[in-house]
Amino acid sequence: MKKNPTIADVARKARVSIATASRVVNNSDHPVSAATRRRVLKVVAEMGFAPSEVARALATRQTCMIGVIVGDTNDPYFSAIVRGIEDVARENGYIVIVCNSDRIPAVELTYVRTLLNYRVRGLIFAGGGLTDENYLREMRALVEQMERRNVGVVGLSEHLFPACEVTIDNRAAVRDGTSYLIQYGHRRIGMLSGPAGLNTTRLRTEGYRDALQAAGIAFDPALVIPGDFRFQGGIRAIERLLAIDRLPTAIMSSNDEMAIGAMVALKQRGLRIPTDISLVGLDDILSTQYVDPPLTTVQIPLYEMGATGMRQLVRLLNDEEIEPVLWLNHTLIERQSVSRIAG
Amino acid sequence: MKKNPTIADVARKARVSIATASRVVNNSDHPVSAATRRRVLKVVAEMGFAPSEVARALATRQTCMIGVIVGDTNDPYFSAIVRGIEDVARENGYIVIVCNSDRIPAVELTYVRTLLNYRVRGLIFAGGGLTDENYLREMRALVEQMERRNVGVVGLSEHLFPACEVTIDNRAAVRDGTSYLIQYGHRRIGMLSGPAGLNTTRLRTEGYRDALQAAGIAFDPALVIPGDFRFQGGIRAIERLLAIDRLPTAIMSSNDEMAIGAMVALKQRGLRIPTDISLVGLDDILSTQYVDPPLTTVQIPLYEMGATGMRQLVRLLNDEEIEPVLWLNHTLIERQSVSRIAG
DNA sequence: AATCGGTTGCAAACCGATTGGATTTCAACC
DNA sequence: GGTTGAAATCCAATCGGTTTGCAACCGATT
């Protein structure tokens, strides 16, 4: 097992001091004569020297690593966000450590601690904040600690601890989706909600109620089906809804995958969409375009959220002034899963 | 900006030497009296001390970071693999740095070098190897270097540089998919192939030819449409195929997303699937289940590939004996996008 | 020849841990 | 009471860089 060449090796071979070699490599502003510089650079090339980021991190007390906490990389919602983060990170010389929490408080906390031990320069929380009390207490302490230690923190949805944020208005997004259904004459509207313990779930359900209330429709808790943001969850939700005496005429889903699951389950039972039942999703993942019928949905700029979040983090780390909360727009995308209700 | 507590702080406060403190923290087998241990542990808890992984990495010359090079995290193919990697990594105390290369040789090379400077313990190449000559030359040199520096390397498809591998038989997978179509009476079969410069593309196209040859069907290069593994690519491929005088009666796609793009494009033109044209995909991503009709496809155990690859890497790093190449099985999943040809 | 300001380069401290080997402690034994 | 050896503890080198203070050197000016 051979060792990597060190800056000492370079210095020796170029017959300069380590300090000089270091200055050439980092082209610092300390003056170095052209001849010396050339000599060092030549040796660097010959030996294929590249400074150890580990050693450099220890000396400068800074790394260029940023941690990203996601629910599940395999969920298209997160994978789009991560891609946005990664692209901007790369442009700015950062590398990204991705951690899947599965939205489990303990896992998330452990990851955050580990990342801090690795001395990441910043941390991005993708996905909605958890609401668990113990989790929040610990997380707030950690965020405070990061503040003191100069570790940047950015949240990508509405989190419950103080951090710079880039988010859409989840409540309004679902309100708009639901209102759209109401405009089409629907008054008995089901809601596929997200997993418990998630702030986003809370907000989206509130948006649903807002829309109902604005239209003077009574809220029926039996029509709100808890889900898990996944395809199978959508299928199960339909089973639960069918257990009710009468199906709603429309369903607002708090994400696309569940909406698609619901669509498949409904079609399997011979129900036509949108003729028999209308469906609105949320996120606008790619597959909304190729299900049949294409899914009407409230678009969230996922990639952009990731990219913007990372951009904010970069600014934060450069000590630039930034908006504490950046709101991104959602947009209703009309496709073919909603129809005016008969009668 | 406050500093993190160091082991020196702990040692001082517990009135022991740094060495002793370190031994307690790592519970090394060097003997430490119960009383001292308790005292140190108490201080550790009080100060919330956790050793800096950076400093530890420098001292031990080892990190617990592993790098993963993927084409695009946002592609369900890769996101499933990454999830498998990450789960096993976590179980074994490793963290994962994800890098999107977009299959561009220069980007990939740069990432590998960066990761080596970060002193990752191992590297996983997800996705098929690139075939660019210059790239291969440089990559082989890098792999050799990693060998010497004891950095583990695992490839997850058939790569063109020497490394431990976990892969399916890409050639056979496409052969089997194509043969399935032939069994259903198709003889004029189109092929949606992958991007140029990719070993996997090569292998899969060969599998297509193998199947034709075995059935005594002449190979028609006009029926092989190059693609990009993406939804839009599938749509474009159909446009190109339609430019031919007569459409094939079936299409073998070298991945699912393109197959689905093709399906959408065909349906838009009023063609029925599988009545008018049959379709077989490859990968078995989730959406194959919810397109209409559900897509018959050759399943690749993506998550398992990632997980197994990471398991192999762990073994490699523990100096255990491992198989240099591990073959995983593909399986044809019959759904509803293939029908027996009329006549 | 002495002075001077600007270049250039060096030695050494430091970052925060690990670790081999030296040193101390202390109970048991002669 | 002195010796001994294992257990417990500590010292200091080391990992591979960055950075600062200081010294040497240079040609030009007085």
Q: What's the pLDDT tens digit per position in B158-172?
A: 888 888 999 999 999
The segments of chain A whose pLDDT lies below 50 read: none
Check CB contact of B45 with chain A, cutoff 8 Å: no
A-chain residues within 8 Å CB-CB of B116?
50
**What contacts B183, CB < 8 A, 6 or more positions away?**
none
Nucleotide nearest B14, CA–C1', reads D9
Parallel, antiparallel or unpaired: strands B164-168 and B152-155:
parallel
Per the CB < 8 Å rule, is B99 touching A83? no
Q: What mean pLDDT is predicted for residues B214-221? A: 96
Contacts of A317 (CB under 8 A, 6+ apart): A121, A122, A152
> Which nt has its C1' nearest the CA of B51?
C17
Instruction: With CB atoms and an 8 Å threshold, state whether A83 touches B73.
Output: yes
Interchain CB contact of A3 with B (< 8 Å): yes
Q: In the prediction, which pLDDT does A299 show?
A: 98
The answer to whether the CB atoms of A291 and B286 lie below 8 A apart is: no
Q: Nearest C-alpha of chain A: how many angstroms from B212?
A: 30
Chain B: nearest CA to A219, how far in angstroms? 31
On chain A, the residues whose CB falls within 8 A of the CB of B150 are 1
Predicted local confidence at residue A200, as pLDDT: 95
Nearest CA in chain A to B78: A74
Q: May I ask the CATH class of domain A7-51?
A: mainly alpha
What is the arithmetic mean of pLDDT over B247-265?
97
Cα separation values, B338 from B237, B253, B295, Å = 19, 13, 8
Identify which of A104, A115, A165, A105 has the alpha carbon closest to the alpha carbon of residue A145. A115
Burial of B5 (0-12, 13-18, 19+ CB in 10 A): middle
Give the Cα separation of B88 and B194 in Å (integer). 29
CB contact (8 A) between residue B289 and residue A117: no
Q: Does A117 touch chain B (CB under 8 A)?
A: yes
* Strand nucleotide closest to residue A9 (CA to C1'): D16
CB neighbourhood size of A115 (10 A): 23
Interatomic CA distance for residues A325 and B249, integer angstroms: 55
Residue B2: is its pLDDT beyond 80?
A: no
Query: SS3 of B191, please?
Result: strand
8 Å CB contact between B304 and B263: no
Helices (H) and strands (E) in chain A, counts: 12, 12
Residues 193-232 of chain B with CB under 8 A from chain A are 231
- Mean pLDDT computed over B240-253: 91
Query: Residue A163: what pLDDT?
Result: 82
Where in chain A are the domains? Answer: 7-51, 61-168+302-328, 170-300
Query: What is the rounded distance in angstroms from the CA atom of residue A232 to the CA atom of residue A258?
Result: 7
Domains B7-51 and B170-300 share a fold: no
Residue in B94, B287, B289, B304 to test binding to A, most A beta-carbons within 10 Å: B287
List phi, psi (to 5°) of A240: -65, -40
B89: confidence class by pLDDT, cuts 50, 70, 90: very high
Residue of A nearest to B50 (CA): A117
Return the SS3 of A314.
helix
Is A104 an 8 Å CB contact of chain B? no
Residue in chain A lying closest to B265 (CA): A290
Compute the distance between CA of residue A182 and CA of residue A341 in angstroms, rounded to an integer: 10
Tokens of B278: 């049959």
A77 to chain B: nearest residue by CA? B74
Reference A279, options A215, A192, A171, A216; nearest CA is: A192
| B185: exposed, middle or buried (Cβ count in 10 Å: 0-12, 13-18, 19+) | middle
Neighbours of B188 (CB within 10 A): 14
Distance (Å, whole) CA A115 – CA A123: 8
Residue B1 has pLDDT above 90, yes or no: no
Taking the CA of residue B34 and the C1' sugar atom of nucleotide D3, their distance in angstroms comes to 28
Q: Do A73 and B82 touch (CB under 8 A)?
A: yes
Topology of domain A61-168+302-328, CATH: Rossmann fold (3.40.50)
Please give the CATH superfamily to which domain B170-300 belongs: Response regulator (3.40.50.2300)
The answer to whether strand D lies under 7 Å from the CB of residue A28 is yes
What's A198's DSSP letter? B
Q: Are the beta carbons of B97 and A100 separated by less than 8 Å?
A: no
A61: nearest nucleotide, CA–C1' criterion? C15
Q: Which of residues 9-38 of A touch strand C (CB under 7 A)?
A: 15-20, 30-36
A27 CA, C7 C1': Å apart: 16
How distant, in Å, are the alpha carbons of A323, B118, B260 from that of A315?
A: 10, 23, 40
Chain A residue with Cα closest to B285? A74
For the record, the structure tokens of A133 come out as 């009390």
Whether residue A119 and residue B52 make contact (CB cut-off 8 A), yes or no, is yes
Q: What's B162's DSSP letter?
A: -
Q: Which of A41, A47, A56 is nearest to A9 (CA)?
A: A47
How far CA A313 is from CA of A130, A155, A322, B302, in Å, comes to: 21, 10, 9, 33
- Containing A199, the helix (H) or strand (E) segment is helix A199-214
* One-letter amino acid for residue B152 of the chain: G
Token pair in block for residue B60? 């031990």
A137 touches strand C (CB under 7 A): no
**Is the separation of the CB atoms in B303 and B80 below 8 Å?**
yes
B72 close to A (CB below 8 A):
yes
Contact A74 B55 (CB under 8 A): no
Choose the mutation target among A151, A260, A287 for the interface with B, i.e. most B CBs under 10 Å: A287
CB-CB under 8 Å, A63 with B80 = no
Buried b (16+ CB within 10 A) or exposed e, B264-288: bbbbeeeeebbeebbbbbbbbbbbb
CATH number belonging to domain B60-168+302-328: 3.40.50.2300
Q: What is the mean pLDDT of chain B?
A: 94
Provide residues 71-130 of A with CB closer than 7 Å to any strand C atom: none
- Tell me the nt nearest to A18, Cα to C1': C10
Q: Which residues are within 8 A (CB) of B65 and not within 5 positions of it... i.e. 6 or more apart?
A: A97, A118, B94, B95, B96, B97, B118, B119, B120, B121
pLDDT score for B245 = 77
Q: Do A1 and B149 touch (CB under 8 A)?
A: yes
Please check the confidence at residue B14 and state whether its pLDDT lies above 60. yes
- B37 CA: distance to closest CA in chain A (Å): 22
